[in-house]
Copies of this chain bind each other. A is one copy, B any other.
């Protein structure tokens, strides 16, 4: 009964500290569940002096990640250093020595996943990455095993806590993007360089993984159209409210015949939908299944302790496979790579959806007629219009909600509309998602 699984941790930052804390705090419970001890045998980091507020035997600290990886006494390597190139090298090296890997690094897996998963499959080791999407929400496990019998039709994810915090603050308390971002940075809820979060890159990394898990298809990060939230204004949030919508940064993927529709962008979600109530730093992944129908998985998508629960759950999972001789029991992406389908991501131009459009015009008779005329000649039909606060001289918004239209046509129409003399600013476009079900 006193078996031991020895773990080496690379990256003693926030999440790494959480992992250390959780392994200490829940030691007895983990041992009871597993029938074995999970021992943190070694921690590698560049910085060995900062006090992380957690007791660690200084003898297990090292600067030398390679030595940690190569140590035959270590069974599982946790990679929590982040970044691409060094992390990739360490991950492949760990797999090369026959060790299973646990990581929270979505950027790494979105970009170098194919290489890493292939190496793992060939070596017959496990790769756990529950912490890489949705923080502590067990969405990876759910897609790999819980929903394994169903055919997934669509996923809609609020998977970036920072942008969800900013958008829900803008919605609930007002303030423009720049101001709210600054406040979020002050509170430590947004990074000094927020690019990955607010430009949708992090969400697209996660979507790359979710697509592969949900649909059994290969997906490349660079094929996913991405649009961030910097351009979302209070004006649009308020008009969205009038139309009965809330604006969320959604990572969307749908099975669409022989293609996969995939995209990350600010999206208008019906106010009554559960996703509309996912606020602050919370994440949620809404899944539509052929047999299951709608289901949703909600929780904290980031933070030291929530993310650590996912890392340690992976350690236990991989640990069980070591104890029972069942390594590689479930393929990292749910399907063996040979069974992964190659499916094209549908070009954004071919997208058909409903749109919210806002034009800033100098009020002049006939502007609405001109705009709707251009939309009409591009096969875009109007569902409703809001036109307000007509003041002579000042520019005022004309807001239009369209029926389903083709993105290519929309782009062409907008290029023409934006050149009309009374139109004083680039038109605002936010896609509306009405097929969310529930």
Q: Are A313 and B145 CB-contacts (below 8 A) given A298-B274, A308-B291? A: yes
Known contacts A145-B317, A148-B316, A313-B145; decide if A294 and B289 are in contact (CB<8 Å): no
Q: Say yes or no: is A183 at the interface (Cβ < 8 Å to chain B).
A: no
Copies in the complex: 2
Chain A residues in the interface with B (C-beta under 8 A): 18, 22, 25-26, 29-30, 32-33, 35, 130, 136-138, 141-142, 145-151, 216, 272, 274, 277, 282, 289-300, 303, 305-306, 308-313, 315-317, 320-321, 324-326, 329-331, 334-336, 339
Complex CA–CA separation, A365 to B122 (angstroms): 84
Q: Are B305 and A299 in contact (CB under 8 A)?
A: no
Given A309-B292, A320-B329, CB of A138 within 8 Å of CB of B146: yes
Residues of B within 8 A of A148 (CB): 30, 33, 313, 316
User: With A and B bound together, what is the CA distance between A305 and B146 in angstroms?
Assistant: 14
Bound-state Cα–Cα, A300 to B293, Å: 7
Contact B33 A334 (CB under 8 A): yes
Lowest 5 CB-CB distances: which A-B pairs, in order?
A: A138-B146, A295-B299, A149-B312, A326-B326, A32-B339
Q: Which residue of B lies closest to A330 (CB)?
A: B320
CB contact under 8 A between A146 and B274, given known A35-B336, A299-B292, A325-B326: no
Q: A32-B336, A136-B295 are in contact. List 19 more A-B contacts (CB 8 A).
A: A18-B291, A26-B151, A29-B216, A30-B149, A33-B335, A136-B150, A136-B293, A141-B145, A148-B316, A149-B316, A150-B309, A274-B298, A289-B309, A294-B300, A295-B300, A296-B296, A298-B298, A324-B325, A324-B326
